[in-house]
């Protein structure tokens, strides 16, 4: 039985983030083809993490800069190694190349970190994104890791185009792999009149979500003025004290915190608000809202990769260009049943592009083709081979130095806590 080894930045939390939900789907993609799956991470196990053993997935703890990982690799002998974010390839890629050179190196970019960082920098400075924002140190690291891997899973067609057009990554090294939705039917059981209030959901540790919450707090007085009976309920894992301090029931602004079921943040709400000012990738909150029949008011960032029309006419809700447009769209959707039903009706077509029954076989076919001709595939990427050569030599020697330093420190006798008399 072939083995997939996943090197995780964190342990998957499918009920806390879209990234965790998507990771679990990727693991199940391999399991359905009869593969054994091992998920390994150096991170601490979080309270909301999924129990992977319930899915037949082996969990393993690994150490950074330690040759114990080499012994684990020798034991596992994976056919495919999936790096969860480019930082894991930087840390462990040279080990894989040295010990398991025939293993296919697969990078899950999650969303492009360099794109998100560029947009955040522009947001912080209150200006549009410039080309130089996309060519900084983070981009150099991330794009280099993409070149060193055999394939990179790209969650959004917009990011796929950015990688080929802006960064000149060969299309043969990229594989479009969005969310897998098992049931693309829109839940229409609860209608307009049976729903009330607005909702937002997002992991508070994710800066785009936190900034969206602050934006909602700023815009809420005007929304509340026009809709005095409406409330805004904000859900999300890991709410810090600065978030709970925003809780203001008298103003109809509620910080609900973590929910075990994403449905709780959508099924009974009339409109989902997602005023994201920056970010990258696909937005799980927008896709969940579509699944549960809740129209969305968002920005071009929130609609990216979901809507494929320049004017966003296919989007199941409204895409606002500024604060006033966001307020106007939210009020209109909340008050107009006809507009609300038209928005929800568009969700089916948007969801269909993420149908697991169609996507999984297509993606597996492309993965299998590369696996079967891996040597030939690698010969086509001179840039990747060159970057491996230079990066792995420097990273390998640094890791070996840290490993030796740690071993030496462990051998040193501990100083007595008693002072000399």
pLDDT at 403: 64
Same domain for 223 and 132? no
Phi/psi of residue 368, nearest 5 degrees? -65, -40
Phi/psi of residue 8, nearest 5 degrees? -95, 140
Quick check: 106 and 151 in contact, CB under 8 A? Answer: yes
pLDDT at 399: 57
Rounded Cα gap, residues 348 and 234, in angstroms: 25
Same domain for 372 and 251? no
Report if residue 142 sits inside a domain.
yes
Report if residue 416 sits inside a domain.
no
pTM of the model: 0.89
Structure tokens at 282: 């696909």
Report if residue 320 sits inside a domain.
yes
Report if residue 384 sits inside a domain.
yes
| Comparison of pLDDT for 395 and 208, the residue scoring more | 208
The neighbouring-strand residues paired with 108 are 84, 153
Give the 3-state DSSP-derived string for 40-67, with helices as H, strands as E and coil as C. EECCCCCCCCCCHHHHCCEEEECCCCCC
Strand locations in 12-160 (E): 36-41, 58-61, 80-84, 104-108, 151-154
Band (216; pLDDT cuts 50, 70, 90): very high
Q: Which of 147-156, 259-268, 403-412 has the lowest mean pLDDT?
A: 403-412
Same domain for 337 and 301? yes
Same domain for 72 and 15? yes
Same domain for 360 and 347? no
Same domain for 398 and 253? no
Mean pLDDT of the region 12-17: 85
Rounded Cα gap, residues 354 and 351, in angstroms: 6
Mean pLDDT of the region 290-309: 95
DSSP 202-221: --TTSHHHHHHHHHHHHHHH
Domain count, the chain: 2
pLDDT at 47: 84
Report if residue 386 sits inside a domain.
yes
Same domain for 375 and 307? no
Domain-terminating residue out of 304, 329, 352? 352
pLDDT at 405: 64
Domain-terminating residue out of 330, 352, 374? 352
pLDDT at 205: 93
Same domain for 131 and 19? yes
Report if residue 161 sits inside a domain.
yes
**Nearest in space to 243 (alpha carbons), one of 193, 199, 203, 283:** 203
Residue 419 pLDDT greater than 50, yes or no: no
Quick check: 377 and 172 in contact, CB under 8 A? Answer: yes
DSSP 308-324: -STT-TTSSEEE-SSHH
Same domain for 86 and 227? no
For 149-195, the pLDDT digits (tens) are 999 999 999 999 999 999 999 999 999 999 999 989 999 999 999 99
**Nearest in space to 186 (alpha carbons), one of 296, 260, 311, 281:** 296
| Comparison of pLDDT for 391 and 418, the residue scoring more | 391
Quick check: 287 and 347 in contact, CB under 8 A? Answer: no
| Comparison of pLDDT for 328 and 110, the residue scoring more | 328
Residue 80 pLDDT greater than 50, yes or no: yes
Host domain of residue 216: 198-352
Residue 392 pLDDT greater than 90, yes or no: no
**Nearest in space to 119 (alpha carbons), one of 302, 272, 274:** 302
Rounded Cα gap, residues 163 and 165, in angstroms: 6
Band (388; pLDDT cuts 50, 70, 90): confident
Helix, strand, coil share of the chain (percent; to 5): 50, 15, 35
Same domain for 154 and 94? yes
Rounded Cα gap, residues 230 and 222, in angstroms: 12
Same domain for 53 and 77? yes
Same domain for 367 and 388? yes
Band (413; pLDDT cuts 50, 70, 90): low
Q: Which of 205-209, 308-312, 324-328 has the lowest mean pLDDT?
A: 308-312
For 92-122, the pLDDT digits (tens) are 999 999 999 999 999 999 899 999 999 999 9
Mean pLDDT of the region 236-253: 96
pLDDT at 24: 94
Domain-terminating residue out of 326, 352, 378? 352
**Nearest in space to 178 (alpha carbons), one of 312, 305, 308:** 305
Residue 369 pLDDT greater than 70, yes or no: yes
| Comparison of pLDDT for 209 and 45, the residue scoring more | 209
Report if residue 28 sits inside a domain.
yes
Give the CATH number, domain containing residue 104: 3.40.50.2000
Residue 135 pLDDT greater than 80, yes or no: yes
In the block, tokens 């939210």 appear at: 330
Rounded Cα gap, residues 289 and 295, in angstroms: 7
Quick check: 151 and 254 in contact, CB under 8 A? Answer: no
The length of the chain, given as a count of residues: 421
Residue 421 pLDDT greater than 50, yes or no: no
Tell the burial category of 238 from Cβ atoms under 10 Å away from its Cβ (0-12, 13-18, 19+): middle
Report if residue 417 sits inside a domain.
no
Mean pLDDT of the region 300-328: 94
Q: Which of 13-27, 173-187, 284-298 has the lowest mean pLDDT?
A: 13-27
Residue 417 pLDDT greater than 70, yes or no: no
């Amino acid at each position: 039985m072939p083995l997939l080894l996943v090197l995780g930045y964190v342990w998957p939390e499918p009920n806390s983030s879209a990234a965790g939900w998507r990771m679990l789907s990727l693991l199940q993609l391999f399991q359905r083809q009869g593969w054994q799956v091992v998920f390994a991470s150096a991170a601490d196990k979080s309270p909301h993490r999924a129990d992977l053993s319930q899915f037949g997935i082996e969990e393993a703890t690994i150490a950074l800069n330690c040759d114990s990982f080499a012994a684990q690799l020798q034991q596992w002998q994976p056919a495919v190694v999936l790096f969860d974010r480019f930082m894991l390839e930087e840390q462990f890629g040279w080990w894989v190349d040295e010990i398991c050179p025939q293993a296919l190196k697969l990078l899950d970019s999650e969303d492009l970190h360099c794109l998100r960082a560029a947009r955040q920098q522009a947001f912080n400075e209150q200006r549009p994104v410039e080309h130089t924002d996309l060519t900084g140190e983070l981009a150099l690291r991330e794009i280099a890791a993409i070149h060193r891997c055999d394939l990179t899973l790209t969650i959004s067609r917009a990011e796929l185009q950015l990688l080929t057009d802006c960064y000149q990554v060969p299309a043969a090294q990229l594989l479009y792999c969005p969310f897998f939705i098992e049931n693309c039917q829109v839940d229409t059981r609860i209608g307009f009149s049976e729903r009330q209030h607005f909702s937002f959901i997002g992991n508070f540790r994710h800066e785009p979500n936190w900034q969206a919450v602050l934006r909602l707090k700023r815009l809420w007085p005007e929304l509340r003025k026009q809709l005095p009976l409406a409330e805004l309920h904000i859900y999300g894992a890991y709410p810090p004290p600065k978030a709970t301090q925003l809780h203001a029931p008298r103003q109809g602004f509620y910080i609900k915190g973590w929910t075990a079921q994403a449905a709780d943040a959508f099924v009974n709400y009339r409109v989902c608000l997602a005023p994201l000012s920056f970010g990258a990738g696909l937005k799980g909150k927008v896709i969940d809202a579509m699944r549960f029949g809740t129209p969305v008011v968002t920005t071009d960032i929130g609609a990216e990769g979901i809507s494929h029309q320049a004017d966003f006419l296919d989007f199941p809700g409204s895409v606002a260009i500024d604060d006033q447009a966001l307020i106007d769209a939210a009020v209109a959707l909340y008050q107009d049943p006809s507009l609300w039903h038209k928005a929800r009706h568009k969700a089916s077509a948007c969801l269909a592009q993420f149908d697991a029954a169609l996507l999984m076989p297509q993606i597996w076919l492309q993965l299998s083709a590369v696996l079967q001709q891996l040597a030939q595939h690698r010969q086509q990427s001179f840039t990747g081979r060159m970057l491996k050569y230079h990066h792995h030599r420097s990273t390998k020697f640094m890791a070996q130095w840290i490993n030796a330093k740690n071993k030496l420190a462990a051998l040193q006798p501990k100083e007595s806590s008693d002072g000399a008399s």
